[in-house]
Structure 1
Amino acid sequence: MENKSLDGLFEDLLQNESLFKNKEVLRPSYTPASLPHRTEQVNTLATILVSALRGDTPSNILIYGKTGTGKTAVARYVGIELERKSDDINIECSVLYLNCEVIDTQYRLLANLAKHFGEDIPMTGWPTDQVFTKFKEAIDARKQVIIIILDEIDKLVKKGDDVLYNLSRINTDLENAKVSMIGISNDLKFTEFLDPRVKSSLGEEEIIFPPYDAEQISDILRQRASIAYKENVLDEMVIPLCSAFAAQEHGDARRALDLLRVAGELAERENETHVGEPHVRRAQEKIEIDRIVEVVRTLPTQSKLALYSVMLLRNNGYRNVTTGEVYNVYRQLCVNVDMDVLTQRRVTDLISELDMLGILNAVVVSKGRYGRTKEIVLSVPIESTRRVLLEDYRLGMLAGFKPVITAQMHL
């Protein structure tokens, strides 16, 4: 009976007219046919990579810029066009894209590369040298130019730069194939952690992507909206508002596209025929909550315990809690989950880190002759944050925990 009613719900929902023509256009994975306000970067990258069409090895390139400045879109766009042109003139050229946030170890990176060229490599178990040898043998079987795009390359570097050292010198071991690398990073300082030899060979060329301003983001949104949405469903203030919100986030076009998509999804769920300003404002709140929830999910356990301590005090009627009060509850939680109890100074540091992440707001206040302390106010929605914290198997047993409130802890 329940399944039948759910089937009926889906039928009803399918009757609602969609506001979208092609929602995928608003996702980060989409590579547009043209890139507004990135002509200079496209031309610079194409000028460096054109040597691949002559059968030569292009210089290695590092691409820098904040999140949502078009780095990945430009690299993938130029890569697609390069492969298309190489087919036209019968030059064998492959452009491989790998995201190092997902493929974040030397072994997995080499295994993925080798698999692209037909090598059946297990995802674990082989010596890394053996995987690297298989990759070299696979690509050197014929004349070809291979360009490897390593997006979020700094995530890979955090686990060591051996693979970059080997790849940057691979051409000396090859007779037929030629390999070039493009590294993409949001972190301008990540090369400080590289071996100087890797740094010099990897950064033969550098391209910097500046943030977009609100007007440029509006142009990008108008271009995508014309493909993504049906005609006349966006109110005139939707795109300017999405642009204004994203411009506050250091010119993040990805954030603007997310806002434009989520606003449409919210309007659809309410069976509206138009997307308006209220939908954009609610989309902004939803995305911000989703971002914070994801940050909370990835916190270390000790930080989660400190945050849960604040939430328990809040649920017990506290408004502005102090670090001393948090530490009292934190110690009780540690005993219950059998975790080491950190010093009060270290827990105060964890609270400062949570403040920097925007999860809570900690303000230093003077207590006169009793010294200074921090008063802490939560900046996150309590119920959704609590659910995320209790998802952690170590904290799950604290669901019904009630702290002992001592006399010194006052409201």
Structure 2
Amino acid sequence: MQNKALDGLFQELLATEPIFNNKEVLRPTYTPDTLVHRDEQINSLATILVSALRGDTPSNILIYGKTGTGKTAASRHVGRELERIGEQLNVQCSVVYVNCEVIDTQYRLLANLARQFGEDVPMTGWPTDQVFAKFKEVIDSKKQVIVVILDEIDKLVKKGDDVLYNLSRANSDLKQAKVSMIGVSNDLKFTEFLDPRVKSSLGEEEIIFPPYDADQISDILMERAEIAYKNGVLEESVIPLCAAFAAQEHGDARRALDLLRVAGELAEREKKPHVQEEHVRRAQDKIEVDRVIEVVKTLPTQSKLALCAVINLRNNGYKNVTTGEVYNVYRQLCINVDMDILTQRRVTDLMSELDMLGIVNALVVSKGRYGRTKEIVLSVPVSSTQRVLFEDYRLKPLEDFKPVITTQMHL
């Protein structure tokens, strides 16, 4: 019976007139044929990489910019064109893309690179030197120029910069092949942690991608919407509103594209023929909740306990709480779940990290002759955040926890 009911439901849903032509163009993984408002950066990239078409080694490049400023799309776009022109000129150019958020260790990176060139290297088990030797052996089997795009390169550096040092020195061991790197990062300061030798060789050229403004984001959305949606589906105010929301988020075009896609999905589920302003506003709320859920899920246990303390105080009527009050409740939570109790200074650092992630808002306030303290205000929806916290089996016993509120605490 259930299968028949599902059959009917799917048939009904398939019979609904779709409003999308091609939803994939609104996803971050899509690389468009043209990139608006990034001519200067694309030209800079092409000017550096053109030496590959002459058979020479291009300079290594570091690309910086906030999330959603077109860094990855521009790198992949130029890389694709480099390969295409290389084919026309009968010059072997290979552009390899690696997401360092997923492939975040020296071994994984080298194994992944070797596998992309047909070498069957296991993802674990070999000495790293052996994997590196295999990679050099397979690429040096013919005359070619290889450009490795390391997206989110800062995630790789957090686990050590040995692999960058080795890759930057690889050309001295190669007879036919040449290797160049493009590092892409949202973090302008990550090079501070690099070995000076790696820093100088990796950052031979630097390209900055500035944030988009609302008008530029509107242009991007217009171009993608023409491919993504059927004619006349979007109400006039939808794209300007998506652009305005994203411009507030430091000119994040990726955020704008997500808004435009999720708004369409909400309209489609309601079987509405048009995407309206209300769908964009609801998409904004949904994306924000989804973002919070993802961030909270990946927090270390101690950070979750600190956040749990803030929520506990909030649920007991405390709005602006001090770090001292948070620490008081945090200690009680740790005792309840048999976790090590960190120092108050360390918990204050954890609150600063949660502030940077946008989960709380920590404001330094003066208490006159009593000095200064931080007041903590929750910046995320309580119910969904609590739900994610208690999905962690270590925090599950705290669902019905009631803190002992001391008399020093104030409402």
Q: Normalising TM by the smaller chain, what interval?
A: over 0.9
Evaluate the alpha carbon distance shift between residue 66 and residue 323 of structure 1 in structure 2; reply closer, same or farther with a 3 A threshold.
closer
Q: TM-score, normalised by structure 1?
A: 0.93
For residues 219-230 of structure 1, the aligned pairs below 5 Å read 219-230=219-230
Q: Deviations over 1:32-71 (max 9, x none)?
A: 0111111122222112212212222112111111211111
Evaluate the alpha carbon distance shift between residue 38 and residue 400 of structure 1 in structure 2; reply closer, same or farther with a 3 A threshold.
same
Residues paired across the two proteins, number: 411
Q: Deviations over 1:264-285 (max 9, x none)?
A: 1111122111111111111112
1:235 is displaced (CA, Å) by 0.8
Distance 2:398 2:35 in 1: 50
Q: Give the match's secondary structure for 2:142.
A: coil
Greater CA drift, 235-244 or 314-323: 314-323
The equivalent of 2:62 in structure 1 is 62
Root mean square deviation of aligned Cα = 2.1
Q: Give the match's secondary structure for 1:355.
A: helix
Greater CA drift, 189-198 or 219-228: 189-198
Distance 1:271 1:67 in 2: 33
Distance 1:87 1:354 in 2: 49
Evaluate the alpha carbon distance shift between residue 401 and residue 94 of structure 1 in structure 2; reply closer, same or farther with a 3 A threshold.
same
Evaluate the alpha carbon distance shift between residue 368 and residue 183 of structure 1 in structure 2; reply closer, same or farther with a 3 A threshold.
closer
The equivalent of 2:304 in structure 1 is 304
Evaluate the alpha carbon distance shift between residue 48 and residue 232 of structure 1 in structure 2; reply closer, same or farther with a 3 A threshold.
same
Q: Give the match's secondary structure for 2:390.
A: helix
The equivalent of 1:379 in structure 2 is 379
Amino acid paired to 1:123? M
Amino acid paired to 2:27? R
Evaluate the alpha carbon distance shift between residue 325 and residue 96 of structure 1 in structure 2; reply closer, same or farther with a 3 A threshold.
same
Q: TM-score, normalised by structure 2?
A: 0.93
Evaluate the alpha carbon distance shift between residue 182 and residue 237 of structure 1 in structure 2; reply closer, same or farther with a 3 A threshold.
same
Distance 2:148 2:86 in 1: 16
Evaluate the alpha carbon distance shift between residue 5 and residue 138 of structure 1 in structure 2; reply closer, same or farther with a 3 A threshold.
same
Q: Give the match's secondary structure for 2:257.
A: helix
Q: Deviations over 1:100-155 (max 9, x none)?
A: 11111100000000011111111111110000000011011111111111111111
Distance 1:392 1:124 in 2: 29
Q: Give the match's secondary structure for 1:169.
A: helix
Evaluate the alpha carbon distance shift between residue 272 and residue 140 of structure 1 in structure 2; reply closer, same or farther with a 3 A threshold.
same
- The answer on 1:140 being equivalent to 2:154 is no
1:96 is displaced (CA, Å) by 0.4
Evaluate the alpha carbon distance shift between residue 376 and residue 49 of structure 1 in structure 2; reply closer, same or farther with a 3 A threshold.
closer
Distance 1:378 1:193 in 2: 32
Distance 1:323 1:148 in 2: 45
Amino acid paired to 1:30? Y
Q: Give the match's secondary structure for 2:149.
A: strand
Q: Which runs of 5+ in 2 are unaligned?
A: none
1:180 is displaced (CA, Å) by 1.1
The equivalent of 2:250 in structure 1 is 250
For residues 40-51 of structure 1, the aligned pairs below 5 Å read 40-51=40-51
Greater CA drift, 238-247 or 359-368: 359-368
Q: Deviations over 1:322-360 (max 9, x none)?
A: 544433332222112111122344334433433343323
Greater CA drift, 337-346 or 176-185: 337-346
The equivalent of 2:155 in structure 1 is 155
Query: Identity of aligned pairs, percent?
Result: 80
Distance 2:156 2:311 in 1: 35
- The answer on 1:31 being equivalent to 2:31 is yes
Evaluate the alpha carbon distance shift between residue 346 and residue 78 of structure 1 in structure 2; reply closer, same or farther with a 3 A threshold.
closer
The equivalent of 1:103 in structure 2 is 103
Distance 1:283 1:24 in 2: 17
Distance 1:406 1:39 in 2: 60
The equivalent of 1:357 in structure 2 is 357
Evaluate the alpha carbon distance shift between residue 173 and residue 351 of structure 1 in structure 2; reply closer, same or farther with a 3 A threshold.
closer
For residues 299-378 of structure 1, the aligned pairs below 5 Å read 299-363=299-363, 375-378=375-378
- The answer on 1:176 being equivalent to 2:166 is no
The equivalent of 1:263 in structure 2 is 263
For residues 124-139 of structure 1, the aligned pairs below 5 Å read 124-139=124-139
Distance 1:123 1:187 in 2: 28
- The answer on 1:190 being equivalent to 2:202 is no
Q: Deviations over 1:169-215 (max 9, x none)?
A: 11111111111111111122222222222122212222221221111
Distance 1:371 1:209 in 2: 41
Evaluate the alpha carbon distance shift between residue 141 and residue 308 of structure 1 in structure 2; reply closer, same or farther with a 3 A threshold.
same
The equivalent of 2:89 in structure 1 is 89
Q: Give the match's secondary structure for 1:400.
A: coil
Greater CA drift, 125-134 or 323-332: 323-332
The equivalent of 1:8 in structure 2 is 8
Evaluate the alpha carbon distance shift between residue 344 and residue 239 of structure 1 in structure 2; reply closer, same or farther with a 3 A threshold.
same
The equivalent of 1:396 in structure 2 is 396
Amino acid paired to 2:239? I
